[in-house]
Chains A and B, each alone.
Chain A
């Protein structure tokens, strides 16, 4: 612990260092951006999928041709597939046990599954059945992974083609997939190869209660058949639409994505718009149920505004189309979920202004931000969920601040406005301790803890960096990370490297790793001002992550600011004059302090805030007139 007892001199010295930091920041802000990486490492993966939806049985009969290349540097003798829908087979699966058979308040109401009926390897001598001899016990507790042996080892760089036939049974909408009435969200519906890491290990895992997904980039060519009179939207661009045998057949194509879903219903209403960015045009298609017109227009507005904002910060959206699905009421289990080039938003049919954090604005901005953080920067969502949900949550709050202003980014109703990040701080830092944001999903036992740590605390850490060292610098940092890691699969080290590049090698070591990987706070304790001999002495201490802070002094003669550098764990102020109150970080830059009550001290009673008496009087008069004569 170091102590700074130089008082006023310290303040002058640190003021110069602030100016120097500001100049450095401006110099950085003017440096050119890194161009986005446009090519995935895995270039030869291809899924050609054909699906027919039976709305009566809620089954999808599918077949596919998968081309895959061993991108690792070692030979592989087996293949591992994810069968996420198997998580809904019965109550004994890993997902059901970990989630307690509910997700985001929606309870499991009935089974689903993914039966792989054929899996064959194309060879020069014919097709080889890969299912024979596979250990795939239908009564096993968890069948969300399928491991098959290859007839011979596959050398690095060698390519294979597989043919697969399967039936996906959708559950009543739950945990991102399923049906609600005529509305079908067909997600995680085909056997999908796990990602083979560079060292030859399969990044395979069961479908976890709080976890999502992780996969290679690939080209998807998807043909969907739905009954006549129905409509469907899917990952990618619709290339063709025709009526065949009483069905509507639609074909969608998209390259450089790591998943493909489709959503079908007989009642879609459509809104369309164009997003222009440089020489690129993106078609934005929004589908919604009847009656959702008002909300849909707001979803579209937020989508277009956020596309521009995220494009500026993290690099332009690289695909030709973005599809937004507004789910009907009752389909909450599939709402608020992101897929490449398509997301499902959430919210009521009526746009309610004044509640950006709870309704249309937040969900739409959040799911759109996922197009970058996990859609393009395809991190391992089970191992490091903070890299997708955490960064996305900060990006969401940042976009809402840009849209509504900081003070109104959370709530703005009946004269009460609230900063969205203060709400996230309240969510993240109060209550029982949680695992650190850098933990894997398997470290969490309660969904509330998962939300507080992964979403809340990561966002609060990022916002603390933005408010302490400047928002432009954080935009540049995350912009560098998102651009350089686009179409890659980075770990936290890549994120920290982008921070160290912008701020210096201390940022990851002293701030991010303690705050994100250990879960450290950054709190302040301010002592009571002591007035003696015409001077004021105050001791301030900080614990946890060291952050530079401003200190506000107030007295009969006015107020002044003192800078408290991060390196000083304690600050002993010895100031000339009478300073009756002291307030560390008065503009609430450091959101990592779980209790700010000891961030300020005063020798004087607090004055009633201006306007409080008038507002209280107005409301009380109305109450009395209501019960009175």
Chain B
């Protein structure tokens, strides 16, 4: 079984995941628009100003600030948190679909393992990546603060962030492979071991970059005629890109994990 087979097998689920996220986003966007319109209705020009770069205009802030912004941000935050929590079971269902079945009976056990693994993985990420992200740029800053050429300072500080980013990318790839292993019913520590062996940091970054490009394209197209349609096509592309990464992660775990049969 290779990644392509798994990707094809989960096409329906991938589409369903996309529809779900789009539906949640559309609901939130409608709520957002409704709240803004509700706040702006007594002052019709405010909404027109909003469409022409008005969000910073004092009237826009005054209009929306009183009633709309607080509850809106709270609702959006709650929605994101809920979707974030739902992402673990959703990803397991998605991975099961790639395996050709959704093992509902095993899902609760796997869900507990996935949550446990995520908590375990948070610790090294926070300590190592967080420590590197703060310490290295600071060291560089103090060493080159007085240099006449500011590029030495600024570009060095940016470059000093790279080790932390590399750690974060490695961690993300590791976390995904761990979840792919857990979907094969591996215990937590075996999954952690299999996920670490799978590696694939570079490939992860390539997928991330492709997703970022698709996002940039959808933002740019959103303002054009037919922007809604083209932006939606690019969003769909991002979901399928993620499906492709999951399929490759699962195939890689199958090849490398000691407790699993070798990939066909």
Q: Does B125 lie at the interface of the complex (its beta carbon under 8 Å from any beta carbon of A)?
A: no
Q: In the assembled complex, which residues on chain A have CB atoms less than 8 Å from the CB atom of B235?
A: 618, 621-622, 625
Given A596-B59, A608-B33, A628-B21, do A614 and B222 touch, yes or no (CB 8 Å)? yes
CA distance A614 to B233 in the complex (A): 13
Chain A positions within 8 Å of B70 at CB level: none
In the complex, the answer to whether B222 meets A291 with C-beta atoms within 8 Å is no
Check B146 against A181 for contact (C-beta < 8 Å): yes
Is A629 a contact of B91 with CB atoms below 8 Å?
yes
- The answer on a CB contact under 8 Å between A611 and B29 is no
How many angstroms from the CA of A182 to the CA of B76 in the assembled complex? 52
Q: CA separation between A417 and B44, bound complex, in Å?
A: 20
Q: Which of A414, A602, A608 contacts B44 (CB 8 A)?
A: A602
| A598 sits at the interface (CB 8 A) | yes
Whether, in the assembled complex, B261 has its beta carbon less than 8 Å from a beta carbon of chain A, the answer is no
For B, the interface residue count at a CB cutoff of 8 angstroms equals 66
Output the nearest chain A residue to B33 by Cβ-Cβ distance: A608
8 Å CB interface, B88-108 against A: 88, 90-91, 94
Question: Which residues of B45-101 have CB atoms within 8 Å of chain A's CB atoms?
Answer: 45-48, 50-53, 55-59, 62-63, 76, 80, 83-84, 86-88, 90-91, 94
- Residues on B with beta carbons closer than 8 Å to the beta carbon of A597: 42-43, 46, 59, 62-63
Chain A interface extent, by class: 35 or more
Pick the most buried of B56, B63, B90, B220: most chain A CB atoms within 10 A of its CB. B56
A583 and B44 within 8 A (CB):
yes
**Contacts A613-B33, A624-B24, A629-B91 hold; do A596 and B45 have CB atoms under 8 A apart?**
yes
Number of A-B residue pairs, CB cutoff 8 Å, is 180
One digit per residue, 1 when the CB lies within 8 angstroms of any chain B CB and 0 when it does not, for chain A 585-629 equals 010000000011111111011111111111111111111110111
Tell me whether A246 is interfacial, beta carbon within 8 Å. Answer: no
Complex Cα distance A620/B83, Å? 12
A583 engages B94 (CB within 8 Å): no
- Say yes or no for A556: interface residue by CB 8 A criterion: no
Q: Is the CB of B149 within 8 A of A426?
A: no
Question: Are A349 and B150 also in contact (CB < 8 A) when A618-B219, A621-B21 are?
Answer: yes
Q: Is the CB of B47 within 8 A of A609?
A: yes
Within 8 A of A (CB), among B101-141: none
In this complex, the member of B25, B33, B52 whose beta carbon has the largest number of chain A beta carbons within 10 angstroms is B25
Task: Check: A151 CB closer than 8 A to any chain B CB.
Answer: no
Chain B residue at smallest Cβ distance from A290: B149
Q: Is A138 an interface residue (CB 8 A)?
A: no
Cross-chain contact of B53 among A292, A407, A595 (Cβ < 8 A): A407
Which positions 221-264 of chain B face chain A at CB distance < 8 Å?
222-223, 227-228, 231, 235, 238-239, 242
CB atoms of A611 and B227 under 8 A apart: yes
A422 to B57, CA, bound (A): 7
Which B residue sits closest to A605, measured CB to CB?
B41
A-B contact pairs, 10 of them (CB 8 A): A328-B150, A417-B53, A429-B58, A596-B59, A597-B62, A612-B50, A613-B29, A613-B30, A622-B218, A627-B84
Other contacts beyond A426-B57, A596-B43: 4, CB < 8 A: A267-B148, A425-B58, A586-B45, A628-B83
